[in-house]
């Protein structure tokens, strides 16, 4: 029987280090502790990437004077993107599109997905976390290159809902 004080200490260490899973084994005991992703959802996040884009497009339109054609593609692209749903990173880590370098990607542009479809892996503190789509549709764009670092809330894929 595991000592409850040891178990509480392990849980405290998981929370302090933002671990989602912990496996410990010795000659007498085996302990596996898994945490849900609810703490990641509660973290505040302010998305700042879209703010500069409209300002740049407006500045380009103002500086162009009568050349309004150069500013019109950006609003058209924004209108097209507004119907797409983003799959965002639930954690900070390294983004991988496949389980190993020799395997094909979990999904690619044009792949039909469901809510339980694994779309990528994010490695954090030597733990590989499977990221599920949590929506149904078709992958329209892959926004991150495999092997690159990602932040919490960063968009990974754009999906056209079905």
Q: For 114-123, how does the pLDDT look when each residue is reduced to its tens digit (9 = 90+)?
A: 999 999 999 9
CATH classification at residue 151 = 2.40.50.100
Q: How far is CA 12 from the centre of its chain?
A: 25
Task: Tell whether 95 and 32 lie within a shared domain.
Answer: no
pTM score = 0.52
Task: Tell whether 38 and 89 lie within a shared domain.
Answer: no
Q: Is the pLDDT of residue 64 over 60?
A: no
Task: Tell whether 27 and 87 lie within a shared domain.
Answer: no
Task: Tell whether 31 and 93 lie within a shared domain.
Answer: no
Asked, for residue 50, whether it belongs to a domain, the answer is no
Q: Is the pLDDT of residue 51 over 60?
A: no
Task: Give me the number of domains the chain comprises.
Answer: 2
Q: What is the mean pLDDT of the chain?
A: 76
Count CA atoms within 13 Å of residue 109 on its CB side.
5
Task: Tell whether 150 and 88 lie within a shared domain.
Answer: yes
Helix, strand, coil tally for the chain in percent (to 5): 25, 30, 45
Q: Is the pLDDT of residue 54 over 70?
A: no
Domain residues for the domain of 34 are: 4-42
Q: Is the pLDDT of residue 112 over 90?
A: yes
pLDDT mean over 121-137: 92
């Amino acid at each position: 029987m595991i000592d409850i004080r040891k178990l509480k200490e392990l849980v405290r260490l998981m929370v302090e280090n933002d671990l989602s899973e912990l496996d410990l084994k010795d000659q007498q005991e085996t302990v596996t502790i898994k945490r849900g992703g609810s703490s990641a959802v509660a973290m505040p996040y302010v998305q700042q990437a879209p703010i500069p884009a409209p300002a740049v497009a407006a500045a380009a339109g103002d500086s162009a004077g009568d050349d309004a054609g150069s500013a019109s593609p950006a609003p058209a692209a924004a209108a097209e993107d507004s119907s797409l749903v983003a799959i965002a990173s639930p954690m900070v880590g390294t983004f991988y599109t496949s389980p190993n370098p020799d395997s094909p990607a979990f999904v690619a542009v044009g792949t039909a997905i469901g809510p339980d479809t694994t779309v990528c892996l994010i490695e954090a503190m030597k733990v590989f976390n499977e990221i599920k789509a949590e929506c149904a549709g078709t992958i329209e764009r892959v926004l991150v290159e495999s092997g690159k670092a990602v932040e919490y809330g960063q968009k990974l894929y754009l999906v056209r809902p079905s």
